[in-house]
Structure 1
C-alpha cells in the first residue's frame, strides 16, 4: 500500500512515521521547504521525501493520501487526486484505526485550545494516562505509532474534520461556531458550520456531544439534523436536567444523575467565555468519572493558554495584554467584552472575510484608540474611523507598542487582539504574540 503525505510539518511527519511502522510504502511531498528538524526525522526513519515541488508521478500512484490541514482542496495536485478517486484524508482519520484509546475531540471557532488544554489538565491531574494532540502539541499519528496512551484529548480544526470518513470521538465538544476561514469555504458560512458538525457524524448512542446551547449556529443545526450521540448542553442563561449551567454564581454540571457544584469565583479562568470552556471541560471530567475534589482543584489552578488574554506586564499602572491567538472577530469580541478599563486596541493582519460591525458597541464603550498593525487596514479604518478619537497605522510590533504607550494613561490597558491572521507581517500568531511581549519588556 502506497501512502503519500502532502505537507512535511508536524502532522505530515507524524503520519509518515506511523505509516512506515504499519508497513506502508511512504512518500512525503511538500510544496514549500521542509524544516531541518523534520528532514532529519524522515531521513533517520528511511522515508522518501521531496520539497518545493509536487512530482505528479510520485503522488498520483498513491493508494491513500494524507493531506496536512493547511493545504486547501483547490490546490491542483489535490484536485487531480480527487478526480482519480484516490482517498484524501486527514491525519486523524489515518491514525485513529491504529489505536484502541478513547478520543475526546474538541472543535469550535474559539475557545477550542483553552478547552483542550483545560480538559487535558483535568484528566492528567486525575492520574489518567492521557495524550494531547490534533491541532496542538505533538502529532496524534506519531503518538499512536508508540501507542502508550489510554485516551487522547484532540483539538480538531474544521480542516481536519473535512478529512474524516469513519473517525468518531467518544466524547465530542463544540465550543461555538462563528464565521472564520470563510476563504476556504467559498465564503459560505453554512459550509463552514457543516464542516464543524462533522465531528458528530459517526457518533453512536454510546457517545456524547457536549455543545454550547447559547450558540445559534449549533442549535439551528441540531434542530435540522440528527446525531445519535447523547447531547450534553452547556449555557450561561439556561438550566438543564442533564448538562452544565451557571446559577447563583455557581457552576453546576449534572450528568448521569450526579451533580457537581463549584463557585465561579474559585475558577482560575476569567471571563464569561471561559466559564463556557470550564463547563465543557468539566462535563468531560464527569463522563470520565473523575473525583469532584480533583476537578475542583484542577479548575482552580489552571494557568490558561499562552497568547490568549495573557497578562504580560503592568507598566506605569497600564496593563499590557497579549491576545494574539484572537485570529477572528468572535475571539476579539470576547477579549473586548472582558475589558473593564479604557483600552488601546492593537488590531489587524490578514482579513478572512471579517464583519467588524459585531464589535461596534464594544469599541464605542471601551476603546479609546486603535492601532492598525497590518499591510492593508482599509476595512478597519472604514469601520471604526469615526468611532474612536485616535487611529494610527503601523507596520511593525515595536512601533505598535511604543505608540500604544504614548496613547495610554494610568488605569488604561493595551490589548493586542488582532481579529485577523498574522501572515502579512509575522510567521504565525505565536510569533506575533512573542514579538508583542518582547516589545512590552523593552519599554
Structure 2
C-alpha cells in the first residue's frame, strides 16, 4: 500500500459505519487524519463504534446532528447507502465539503492494477469470473475481489501488492463518490433502469455509472456491451480504448459469439455451450470476463478451464445439484421480474419455478412472455396470490401455493420429472419472510439437500 501524506492532520468525518465506514475510518486514522465517525445507531448497541473509540477515533452516535459539521471538516466519507438528500450530506454540500466514498480512498493507496466492474445486472458474476480466471494456475500474483461484492476495497488495497490485481464490483452509489478513481480496465456489463428512488432519474443513474470511466485515459481500457445501443453511443465520449463484447454480432476486435463459437480478437476461445453457467445473460458476463482476462494476458486454456466448471455465484442462478434427473438452481438474488426473466431465458428444459415474496404493489404480467417453458409454479409469500393469477394467465399447467420456500422444494419435486429444472427465482424481495435473499437461498439449498438425503 502507498503510504500517502494527503490526510496527515486533516479533519475527516466518516458518515455511516457498516463495513465500508469502519474500514475507511481505520485507514484514515492510520494515514494520520483526525477522524470523527458518525453513525445513526446508538453507542451501546454499536460494537463497531465502540471498537473505533478504543482505537482513539472520535465517535458520535445515536443520530446525525447537522451541527457536527460546524467543526470545519475538510472531507466527508459517506456510506454509499446514505442518500444525498440526507440533511448531513446537504449541509456538507452547502459548505463545499468534498464528499467521497470508501472506494476513492482505496484507489488512492492501492499499488495494484485495478479492474472496475459496474452495470445494472451481472456485476457480481462477472467480477467473480474475472478473479477466478486470473487466479487459475497463478503462482506469483493474486487477483483479489473487493468493493460492492462484500470485502471493502480499503481492506484489499492495503493487502494487495503492485504485482496483484484488485477486481472491484462498483455500484452507482459508490461511483457517485469518486474524485481521482481510475481503473486500468473498466467494465460496464449493461444498463437498465434501476435505483430511481436514489438517483431521481434514469439519466442521473446512467451518469453515475459512466463515472467509472471519467478519469481514464488512452492508456486504459473500457469493456462495453456492444449489444446495447446506449453504450455504443456513450462510448464516443470515452477517452479509454474501447473493448466491445457481443453475443449477437461478429466484431473486428473484442469478444463475441458466432454460431456457438466464442472469439476474442479473432482467436477461437471456446464453444459457448461448454460454459457451465446457463443463460444468455451469463454468456454476456463470460464475454466481458474474457475481454478483461485477455487484456491482462491470461491464457485461453485457463479461461476455458474456469468457464467449464464455474457454477455461479451463490444465490445467482447457482447450480446446487442434480438428483434423480432433476437439476436444482438457486437464484434467490432475483428480487425483481427482470432478473427472473433472465434466469428463465437460460433454460431450454421444462422448468418448475419457485417464486414469491414481498409485495411492493406491482403485478407480474411482464413475466408472462417468459413463462412458456414453465410447466409448474410453486408460490409463497405475500405475492403468492398475484403470482398464481399471473401463472394461470400464462398457461402454466399446475400452480401450487405453499407456506414458504422450505415447503416449496418437496412440492416442486413432486410436480417434476426427470430432465426438468427446479428453479428458485422469486422475482420478489425476501423481507416478508426472511431477513435477506441469502437466508432464503440458504434455506432452499438445505431443503434440496434434505430431499436428496431422504
Match of 1:183 among 172, 197, 208: 197
1:77-96 matched pairs, under 5 angstroms: 77-96=88-107
Deviations 1:326-376 (A, max 9, x none): 23333222210112333232334457897855432111x122344444445
Over 3 Å counting, the alpha-carbon distance change for 1:351 and 1:184 in structure 2 is farther
Q: Which SS does the other structure have where 2:215 is aligned?
A: coil
Conserved? CA contact 1:17–1:145, under 8 Å: no
Provide the residue aligned with 2:55 in structure 1: 45
Instruction: Return the alpha-carbon distance in structure 1 between the equivalents of residues 36 and 382 of structure 2.
Output: 37
Tell me whether 200-209 or 343-352 shows the greater mean CA deviation. 343-352
Provide the residue aligned with 1:97 in structure 2: 108
**Structure 1 segments of 4 or more deviating over 6 A?**
33-37, 351-355
Instruction: Return the alpha-carbon distance in structure 2 between the equivalents of residues 9 and 362 of structure 1.
Output: 38
Match of 1:285 among 270, 293, 299: 293
Match of 1:226 among 234, 237, 242: 237
Provide the residue aligned with 2:181 in structure 1: 167
Q: Which SS does the other structure have where 1:431 is aligned?
A: helix
Number of residue pairs the alignment of both structures matches:
436
Instruction: Return the alpha-carbon distance in structure 2 between the equivalents of residues 181 and 261 of structure 1.
Output: 36
Instruction: Return the alpha-carbon distance in structure 1 between the equivalents of residues 132 and 107 of structure 2.
Output: 22
Instruction: Return the alpha-carbon distance in structure 1 between the equivalents of residues 336 and 178 of structure 2.
Output: 25
**Under a length normalisation based on structure 2, what TM-score does the superposition of the two structures give?**
0.85
Instruction: Return the alpha-carbon distance in structure 2 between the equivalents of residues 319 and 334 of structure 1.
Output: 18
Q: Which SS does the other structure have where 1:133 is aligned?
A: strand
Instruction: Return the alpha-carbon distance in structure 1 between the equivalents of residues 255 and 447 of structure 2.
Output: 41
Q: CA deviation at 1:392?
A: 5.2
Q: CA deviation at 1:160?
A: 0.9
Instruction: Return the alpha-carbon distance in structure 2 between the equivalents of residues 382 and 75 of structure 1.
Output: 40
Q: Which SS does the other structure have where 2:126 is aligned?
A: helix
Instruction: Return the alpha-carbon distance in structure 1 between the equivalents of residues 414 and 41 of structure 2.
Output: 41
Over 3 Å counting, the alpha-carbon distance change for 1:183 and 1:273 in structure 2 is same
Q: CA deviation at 1:193?
A: 2.1
Q: Which SS does the other structure have where 2:370 is aligned?
A: helix
Relative contact order (alpha carbons < 8 A, sep ≥ 6): 1 or 2 greater? Answer: 1
1:40-439 matched pairs, under 5 angstroms: 42-43=52-53, 45-59=55-69, 61=71, 62-125=73-136, 126-127=138-139, 128-146=141-159, 148-149=161-162, 150-186=164-200, 188-222=201-235, 226-254=237-265, 259-314=267-322, 317-350=325-358, 356-363=364-371, 365-375=372-382, 380=387, 383-384=390-391, 386-387=393-394, 388-391=396-399, 396-405=404-413, 407-439=415-447
Provide the residue aligned with 2:24 in structure 1: 15
Q: CA deviation at 1:68?
A: 1.7
Over 3 Å counting, the alpha-carbon distance change for 1:296 and 1:367 in structure 2 is closer
Conserved? CA contact 1:181–1:352, under 8 Å: no
Over 3 Å counting, the alpha-carbon distance change for 1:30 and 1:40 in structure 2 is closer
Tell me if 1:24 matches 2:37. no
Provide the residue aligned with 1:3 in structure 2: 12
Instruction: Please list every run of 5 or more consecutive structure 2 residues that lacks an aligned counterpart in the other structure.
Output: 1-9
Q: CA deviation at 1:423?
A: 3.4
Over 3 Å counting, the alpha-carbon distance change for 1:294 and 1:402 in structure 2 is closer
Conserved? CA contact 1:131–1:152, under 8 Å: yes
Q: Which SS does the other structure have where 2:334 is aligned?
A: coil
Q: CA deviation at 1:314?
A: 4.4
Deviations 1:233-271 (A, max 9, x none): 1111111111111124321001xxx73532334434333
Over 3 Å counting, the alpha-carbon distance change for 1:353 and 1:39 in structure 2 is same
Instruction: Return the alpha-carbon distance in structure 2 between the equivalents of residues 37 and 148 of structure 1.
Output: 31
Q: CA deviation at 1:153?
A: 0.5
Instruction: Please list every run of 5 or more consecutive structure 1 residues that lacks an aligned counterpart in the other structure.
Output: none
Instruction: Return the alpha-carbon distance in structure 2 between the equivalents of residues 80 and 377 of structure 1.
Output: 44
Conserved? CA contact 2:249–2:258, under 8 Å: no
Conserved? CA contact 1:182–1:353, under 8 Å: no
Q: CA deviation at 1:307?
A: 1.0
Instruction: Return the alpha-carbon distance in structure 2 between the equivalents of residues 41 and 260 of structure 1.
Output: 53
Conserved? CA contact 1:3–1:63, under 8 Å: yes
Q: CA deviation at 1:103?
A: 0.8
Instruction: Return the alpha-carbon distance in structure 1 between the equivalents of residues 241 and 64 of structure 2.
Output: 44
Deviations 1:38-62 (A, max 9, x none): 4575356333334442233445533
Tell me whether 203-212 or 191-200 shows the greater mean CA deviation. 191-200
Q: Which SS does the other structure have where 1:193 is aligned?
A: helix
**Under a length normalisation based on structure 1, what TM-score does the superposition of the two structures give?**
0.87
Instruction: Return the alpha-carbon distance in structure 2 between the equivalents of residues 29 and 76 of structure 1.
Output: 13
Instruction: Return the alpha-carbon distance in structure 1 between the equivalents of residues 203 and 33 of structure 2.
Output: 37
Tell me whether 319-328 or 309-318 shows the greater mean CA deviation. 309-318
Over 3 Å counting, the alpha-carbon distance change for 1:402 and 1:264 in structure 2 is closer
